[in-house]
Amino acid sequence: MNASLISLEIWVVALGLVLMLADFWMPAERKRFLGYAAAAALAVLLVMNLGHCATGTAFNGMFVQDGLAVFFKCFFIIAAILVLFMAVEFSDNLTAGISEYYSLVVFALSGMLFAASANNFAMLFVSIELITVTFYVLTSFQRGRLVSLEAGVKYLILGALSSAFMVYGIALVWGTTGKLNFNELALVAGQFAGNKIFLLGMVLVLVGLGFKIAAFPFQIWAPDVYQGAPTPTTAFLAVGSKAAGFVLLLRVLFTAIPSVSAHWANPLIIISGITILYGNLCALPQRNLKRLMGYSSIAHAGYLLLGVAALSMNGQAAMLYYLSGYLFTVLGAFTVICLVMRHLDNEDISALAGLHQRSPLLATTLTLAMVSLAGIPPLAGFFGKFLLLKAVLEQGATNPGYYCLAFTALAGVVISLYYYFGVIRAIYWSKDTPVDLSPILLSGPAKVTLAICIAGMFWIGLFPNTMVSLATEAVKTLGI
Amino acid sequence: MNVGLEHYLVVSALLFALGLLGVITRRNLLVMYMSLELMLNAANLALVSFSRFNNNLNGQILVFFIITVAAAEVSVGLALIVALYRKRQTAHVEDLTTMKL
């Protein structure tokens, strides 16, 4: 056993416990600053983690530390740091328990870190549940607001349903093959390719993962939960929880059952295409900005699935690249939403009117984020979509369905231009007369967060080579 | 009659289907939540019977994890339902209509 491999996770869990205990001694008016302390501690852990990347497995092969795991761990920690900064700005809206909010974010992060390293169905189940159960609480944290509670209850029922499906799937897979470890399963999965019970079990496991990433037809929860949850929670849900679903999807499809998933191109193509169309078409009439982002995140789950459906190393690398651009873009957008709309009852788009006069920095960040989400050069979203489409078209020779999928994705991009530019129009050329033209004062850390997000969007978009080589290096461990 | 693996699996599949039916048809949050627990226990039964008949203890270990996680999920879930009841005086899904498409 090699327990030193999980030192990062141990530190993160310890940080969560320290934050909970600090709640007892910290004077009430200083509690919100614990968020900065937590973010700083995570930044230190990130640098330490980058410093030495020992690889190997621990706990009898349940836990694997490889290139893919290290890539996603850095991703999750950066996401958590930006979310903690956002939570400090949001703390006025949380009547009680702000330090618990921080520690729950850190516990959810620990679940994501374990998910990045899961190499066993038991580990997959426990890490996913650690994330989901924490998010039930984070979603309904504003328990004085009915929308927040309602979002929490909806997430609870649908989340518990999907985990019940997943557990039953794991039971069937384990019952037929007798293997829980992904590498051991890969050796025997080929023999069970015709076994109906095994296939049913695998499909049920994928249903659970499809729920996490909000892919069609398991996306119903996303708009309501995104709208009702406190804004930092929504941001973490859109980035962290979705990415955790994707890393587990990669592990299950390409480490555990590569010989079976090789024949699943058609279902993956169909799910990816419908998810893109559904997300983009439903986003068109939305007036609530967080709900719009919810539908947009469904569409982006579809784009990310392009990389999975391509069943190739280029596809997986493109997906990782796209996710890293998505991290800065979405967190930038949600930071702006959080800062502009934290004192409003609902997040109607009309509240953005006159934002370029109230705060040019916020207006610029939101504009850049929308441009990047829409996939316009030179920002991160453009090159990511380009790489995903390229990976899909490369496979076109083997299956003509890939051409249809690429066409669907392009159609989705064109549809999405309408609603993303609706947001930009609301900022600069709004027809509604702005009710409030008072300038928005930004704290120093908020400016730093926005600057990091803008820099990330430009860096990943303009200098893609570094990130592409990192992503390619990371997916080599999947070995397809 | 000799009770074999198939019998246990049929019972487990029935429990799972009953739980799913409950979640889909019932409108009270507490009953829906109970049905969800039934679905988890169906999986537990399947794991334990596979474990017993295949002479492999891994499944029983996994059942411990599932029971623990289910307990955590129930505590959070019931707290949420209580908080909703205090705010809204109802535990019916039809009343969860603040957010519409």
pLDDT tens digits for range A385-402: 999 999 999 988 888 889
Q: What is the mean pLDDT of residues A73-80?
A: 94
Least confident of A21-30, A69-78, A205-214, A419-428: A21-30
**pLDDT interval class at A413 (50, 70, 90):** very high
What pLDDT does residue A1 have? 57
Report the alpha-carbon distance of residue A89 to residue A84 in Å, rounded.
9
Nearest Cβ partner for A161 among B23, B29, B93? B23
Contact call for A153 and B46, based on CB within 8 A:
no
Q: What is the mean pLDDT of residues A214-230?
A: 91
Nearest Cβ partner for B43 among A153, A168, A282? A168
Contact call for B76 and A156, based on CB within 8 A:
yes
A474 contacts A71 by C-beta, under 8 angstroms: yes
Distance from CA of B2 to the nearest CA of A (A): 20
pLDDT at A373 over 80: yes
Question: Sign of torsion, CA A7 A13 A15 A17?
Answer: negative
Nearest Cβ partner for A150 among B56, B62, B98? B98
Percent with pLDDT over 90 in chain A: 65
pLDDT at A140 over 60: yes
Q: State whether residue A100 sits within 8 Å of chain B by CB.
A: no
Report the alpha-carbon distance of residue A158 to residue A220 in Å, rounded.
9
**pLDDT interval class at B100 (50, 70, 90):** low
Distance from CA of A175 to the nearest CA of B (A): 5
Write down the number of H helices and E strands in chain A.
21, 2
Distance from CA of A249 to the nearest CA of B (A): 20
Q: State whether residue A157 sits within 8 Å of chain B by CB.
A: yes
Nearest Cβ partner for A164 among B36, B56, B81? B36
CB neighbours (10 Å) of residue A328?
28
A143 contacts A149 by C-beta, under 8 angstroms: yes
pLDDT at A302 over 80: yes
CB neighbours (10 Å) of residue A148?
24
Three-class SS of residue A437? coil
**pLDDT interval class at A23 (50, 70, 90):** confident
Identify the CA nearest to B35 among candidates B87, B90, B93, B86. B93
What pLDDT does residue A232 have? 94
pLDDT at A103 over 80: yes
Q: Which amino acid is at A125?
A: F
What pLDDT does residue B95 have? 79
**What's the Cα-to-Cα distance from A251 to each of A235, A256, A303, A338, rounded to whole Å?**
24, 6, 19, 34
Contact call for B69 and A170, based on CB within 8 A:
no
List of chain B residues whose C-beta atoms are within 8 Å of the C-beta of residue A140: 80, 83
Q: What is the mean pLDDT of residues B30-51?
A: 94
What pLDDT does residue A57 have? 85
pTM of the model: 0.94
User: Least CA distance to A282: which residue of chain B?
Assistant: B101
List of chain A residues whose C-beta atoms are within 8 Å of the C-beta of residue B12: 171
A331 contacts A232 by C-beta, under 8 angstroms: no
For chain B, domain boundaries = 5-95
Residues in chain A: 480
Identify the CA nearest to A245 among candidates A70, A104, A114, A128. A128
Q: Which of residues 69-98 of A touch B (CB under 8 A)?
A: none
Q: Could you give the residue ranges of the DSSP H alpha helices within A28-145?
A: 34-51, 67-90, 98-116, 121-139
A156 contacts B80 by C-beta, under 8 angstroms: yes
Identify the CA nearest to A307 among candidates A215, A369, A390, A197. A390
Structure tokens at A391: 């990976």
Q: State whether residue A448 sits within 8 Å of chain B by CB.
A: no
Nearest Cβ partner for A125 among B23, B65, B80? B65
> Which of A136, A146, A168, A219 should be substituted to probe chain B, the one whose Cβ sees the most B Cβ atoms within 10 Å?
A168
ipTM of the complex: 0.95
pLDDT at A98 over 90: no
Q: State whether residue A152 sits within 8 Å of chain B by CB.
A: yes
Q: State whether residue A175 sits within 8 Å of chain B by CB.
A: yes
Q: How many CB pairs under 8 A join A and B?
A: 116
What pLDDT does residue B87 have? 87
What pLDDT does residue A51 have? 64
What pLDDT does residue A52 have? 66
DSSP class per residue in B64-90: HHHHHHHHHHHHHHHHHHHHHHHHHS-
What pLDDT does residue A301 have? 95
Contact call for B62 and A152, based on CB within 8 A:
no
pLDDT tens digits for range A240-271: 999 999 999 999 999 998 888 888 889 999 99
Contact call for B80 and A153, based on CB within 8 A:
yes
What pLDDT does residue A353 have? 84
CATH of domain B5-95: 1.10.287.3510
Residue A180, C-beta contacts closer than 8 angstroms, at least 6 positions apart:
A120, A121, A122, A170, A174, B58, B62
Residues in chain B: 101
pLDDT at A367 over 80: yes
Report the alpha-carbon distance of residue A278 to residue A282 in Å, rounded.
6
**pLDDT interval class at A92 (50, 70, 90):** confident
Distance from CA of A18 to the nearest CA of B (A): 21
User: Least CA distance to B16: which residue of chain A?
Assistant: A168
Q: State whether residue A222 sits within 8 Å of chain B by CB.
A: no
pLDDT at A341 over 90: no
Percent with pLDDT over 70 in chain A: 98
Contact call for A126 and B42, based on CB within 8 A:
no
Distance from CA of B32 to the nearest CA of A (A): 8
pLDDT tens digits for range B41-66: 999 999 999 999 999 899 999 999 99
Contact call for B80 and A152, based on CB within 8 A:
yes
Radius of gyration of chain B (CA): 17
User: Least CA distance to B84: which residue of chain A?
Assistant: A149
For chain A, domain boundaries = 264-480
pLDDT tens digits for range B85-94: 998 888 888 8
**pLDDT interval class at A161 (50, 70, 90):** very high
Report the alpha-carbon distance of residue A325 to residue A379 in Å, rounded.
9
